[in-house]
Amino acid sequence: MTSSLDIARESYRSISLYAPNRAPARVDLSDNTNLWGVPPAAARAIAGAVAGAAVTRYPNLYAAELKRELAAYLGAAPDTVVTGCGSDDVLDSAVRAFGEPGDRVAVPDPSFAMIPIFARMNALEPVLVPLTGDFDADADAMLATGAKLIYLCSPNNPTGAALRPETIERVVREAPGVVIVDEAYQEFSDRPSATRLLAASERLLVCRTMSKAFGIAGLRVGYAAGAPSLVAEVEKSRGPYKVNALAERAALAALREDLPWVRARVAEAVENRGRLAERLRALGLAPVPSQANFVLVPFRGACDVARRMRDAGIAVRPFDDLGDRLPAFAAAGGEGLRISVGPWDVLEEMLAALADALGG
Ligand SMILES: *Cc1c(COP(=O)(O)O)cnc(C)c1O
């Protein structure tokens, strides 16, 4: 009898299925989605589309209409945008498009957990490069890897900190190959977007999503902007029909009619993020300064505290692998909680459960 390992592609053998604890919780602050709900025009667009040809026919090949609307949102030209089934799909497609098997992908550590997985899935080698002590990417060390692909995330998940604009500029200027800047949380940040560097670089891909600020994570709409020659390669690698018809309609409606709604929710999230950080400090914790819609709190025993909070019906995201190379994380034994920012009454409920769990 052959074991499944014998038939699996070699680069897949060290990969396990992505399995964060997604058991339903009364209050879920674990995945940084929009806790205010679905943008209203997007909700109407889905309801209006189910009866018609949107379901029986294939969707657009490469979501041309959506690319035009996303380009307008970014202030870019339509042929500089590629879409995907979530930005996960765009990131995976980009890794595959620009990396040959065996090539290296430089990834900050800690950062978005899916990137090393996408690297391995495409037979590339992830090279983890620790963040600096002030939560910036280490440009020298990332460039020194000589990696053909460099990934940066700003604001970074899970730290929430934005990278310094000069750091991103320098990596884009000096990198030997393609640089991906993941801006999944850019809407919550007051730092300039890396899209401003697109005109000067043929090798920069700025990745965005409609899963966080736009509130449609379940519909899976991601996108990226870059030079036309660059996004064409990502599009080939991605393949046709990846944004389904209902998702495209909802995304179009959100971009055309829901921007004021989205901006108001983002403003509320930014305000609540500040209030939350203050309350966490009052509990004796030291949240990392955040430019995203979540806050990372490193402290020893965080995983135990997360378990107790979950028993009380509140889900937050525990980490036990933040490492010991950054002083803030070493002092916490590599543990921390990442807490999504939502409406204030929800955060109050979370804070009560957190205070109980810390005391217990
Ligand atoms: C949530 C997240 C994504 C994935 O978003 P989808 O568009 O839902 O696939 C990408 N990058 C980072 C850093 C994220 O936190």
| 3 state DSSP class of 223 | strand
CA of 242 to the centre of ligand 1 (A): 16
CA of 256 to the centre of ligand 1 (A): 22
- Ligand 1 atom with minimal separation from the 87 CA: 7
pLDDT at 2: 52
This prediction's pTM: 0.96
pLDDT band at 230 (very low <50, low <70, confident <90, very high): very high
Among candidate residues 42, 99, 73, 109, the one with its CA nearest the CA of residue 206: 73
- pLDDT-above-70 percentage for the chain: 98
Overall size of the chain counted in residues: 360
158 token code pair: 């899970």
CA of 126 to the centre of ligand 1 (A): 18
Mean pLDDT of 328-346: 97
Question: Under a CB-based contact definition with an 8 Å cutoff, are residues 318 and 333 in contact?
Answer: no
Residue 29 has pLDDT above 70, yes or no: yes
pLDDT at 24: 83
Least confident of 40-49, 104-113, 294-303, 345-354: 40-49
Neighbours of 314 (CB within 10 A): 25
State the helix-helix crossing angle for 245-257 and 40-49, rounded to 10 degrees: 150
With a 6 A CB cut-off, is 187 part of the ligand 1 pocket? no
Exposure string over 55-68, b if 16+ CB within 10 A, otherwise e: eeeebbebbeebbb
pLDDT at 49: 86
| 3 state DSSP class of 354 | helix
pLDDT at 116: 96
With a 6 A CB cut-off, is 106 part of the ligand 1 pocket? no
CA of 183 to the centre of ligand 1 (A): 9
Among candidate residues 98, 63, 69, 65, the one with its CA nearest the CA of residue 84: 63
Residue 130 has pLDDT above 60, yes or no: yes
**Taking phi first (over 0 means left), then psi (-120 to 50 degrees means alpha), and beta for anything else, what does residue 243 get?**
beta
Question: Under a CB-based contact definition with an 8 Å cutoff, are residues 220 and 245 in contact?
Answer: no
Among candidate residues 155, 150, 124, the one with its CA nearest the CA of residue 139: 150
CA of 7 to the centre of ligand 1 (A): 31
pLDDT band at 36 (very low <50, low <70, confident <90, very high): very high
- Mean pLDDT score of the chain: 95
Angstrom distance (rounded) from CA 221 to CA 335? 31
DSSP 277-330: HHHHHHTT--PPP-SSSEEEEE-TTHHHHHHHHHHTTEEEEEES-S-SSSHHHH
What is the residue with the minimal CA distance to atom 2 of ligand 1? 184
Residue 233 has pLDDT above 70, yes or no: yes
pLDDT at 44: 95
Residue 211 has pLDDT above 80, yes or no: yes
Q: DSSP label at 279?
A: H
Residue 1 has pLDDT above 60, yes or no: no
pLDDT band at 19 (very low <50, low <70, confident <90, very high): confident
Least confident of 44-53, 136-145, 318-327: 44-53
Beta bridge partners of 298: 336
177 token code pair: 């190959």
